[in-house]
Structure 1
Amino acid sequence: MNKKAQLSLIELHSIGWLVVFVVLLVPPAAADIYIYIDSQGVMHFTNAPTSSDYQVYLKERPKRRGGGIDTNRFDRYIDEAATLHGVDFPLLKAVIRAESAFDPKAVSKKGALGLMQIMPANLEAFQVHDPFDPWQNIMGGARYLKSLIKRFKGQVPLALAAYNAGPRTVDVHRGIPPIQETEEYVKRVMKFFYLYRNG
Structure 2
Amino acid sequence: EGVPQNHAKAATLYCKAAKMGDADAQFFLGWMYANGRGVSRSDNIASYLFTMAAKQGHEHAQKMESYTKKISASLSFPSCASKIPLQQARNGGGVTYPNDYIFKLVTKLAPLYEVDPKLVMAIISVESGFNVRAISPKNAQGLMQLIPATARRFKVKNTFDAEDNIRGGIAYLQWLLTFFEGNVSFVAAAYNSGEGTVKKYNGIPPYPETRSYVKKIRKLYKKQTHPYRPHVVGG
1:26-49 deviation line (CA, Å, top 9, x unaligned): 41524133259xxxxxxxxx8963
Aligned equivalent of 1:149: 177
* Cα separation, partners in 2 of 1:109 and 1:150, compared to 1, 3 Å: same
Count of aligned pairs between the two proteins: 154
* Cα separation, partners in 2 of 1:186 and 1:129, compared to 1, 3 Å: same
Determine if the alignment matches structure 1 residue 49 to structure 2 residue 65.
yes
* Partner-residue secondary structure (3-state), 1:96: helix
Q: CA deviation at 1:75?
A: 1.1
Q: CA RMSD in A?
A: 2.9
Could you tell me how far apart the structure 1 residues matched to 2:187 and 2:157 are? 24
After the TM superposition, which parts of structure 1 deviate over 6 Å for at least 4 consecutive aligned residues?
62-65
Q: CA deviation at 1:120?
A: 1.1
Could you tell me how far apart the structure 2 residues matched to 1:157 and 1:192 are? 12
Aligned equivalent of 2:44: none
What amino acid is aligned across from residue 25 of structure 1 in structure 2?
K
Could you tell me how far apart the structure 2 residues matched to 1:179 and 1:47 are? 35
Aligned equivalent of 1:125: 153
What amino acid is aligned across from residue 65 of structure 2 in structure 1?
P
What amino acid is aligned across from residue 8 of structure 2 in structure 1?
L
Aligned equivalent of 1:81: 109
Q: CA deviation at 1:64?
A: 6.2
Structure 2 counterparts to residues 19-58 of structure 1, below 5 A: 24-27=8-11, 29-30=29-30, 31-32=49-50, 33=52, 34-35=54-55, 49=65
Could you tell me how far apart the structure 1 residues matched to 2:132 and 2:148 are? 15
Instruction: State the TM-score, normalizing by the size of structure 2.
Output: 0.59
* Cα separation, partners in 2 of 1:95 and 1:179, compared to 1, 3 Å: same
Q: CA deviation at 1:78?
A: 0.5
What are the ranges of 5 or more consecutive residues in structure 2 without an aligned counterpart? 16-28, 31-48, 57-61, 68-77, 86-97, 224-235
Determine if the alignment matches structure 1 residue 138 to structure 2 residue 122.
no
Q: CA deviation at 1:22?
A: 5.0
Q: Which has the higher strand share?
A: 1
What amino acid is aligned across from residue 210 of structure 2 in structure 1?
T
Instruction: State the TM-score, normalizing by the size of structure 1.
Output: 0.69
Aligned equivalent of 2:193: 165
Aligned equivalent of 1:55: none
Could you tell me how far apart the structure 1 residues matched to 2:63 and 2:219 are? 31
Determine if the alignment matches structure 1 residue 105 to structure 2 residue 121.
no
Q: CA deviation at 1:190?
A: 1.2
1:84-128 deviation line (CA, Å, top 9, x unaligned): 111111101000000000000000011000000000122221111
Could you tell me how far apart the structure 2 residues matched to 1:72 and 1:166 are? 29
Determine if the alignment matches structure 1 residue 192 to structure 2 residue 208.
no
What amino acid is aligned across from residue 130 of structure 2 in structure 1?
F
1:27-76 deviation line (CA, Å, top 9, x unaligned): 1524133259xxxxxxxxx896369xxxxxxxxxx9969xx782433111
Aligned equivalent of 1:115: 143
What amino acid is aligned across from residue 86 of structure 1 in structure 2?
E
Q: Relative CO higher for 1 or 2, CA cutoff 8 Å, sep ≥ 6?
A: 1
What are the ranges of 5 or more consecutive residues in structure 1 without an aligned counterpart? 1-20, 37-45, 52-61
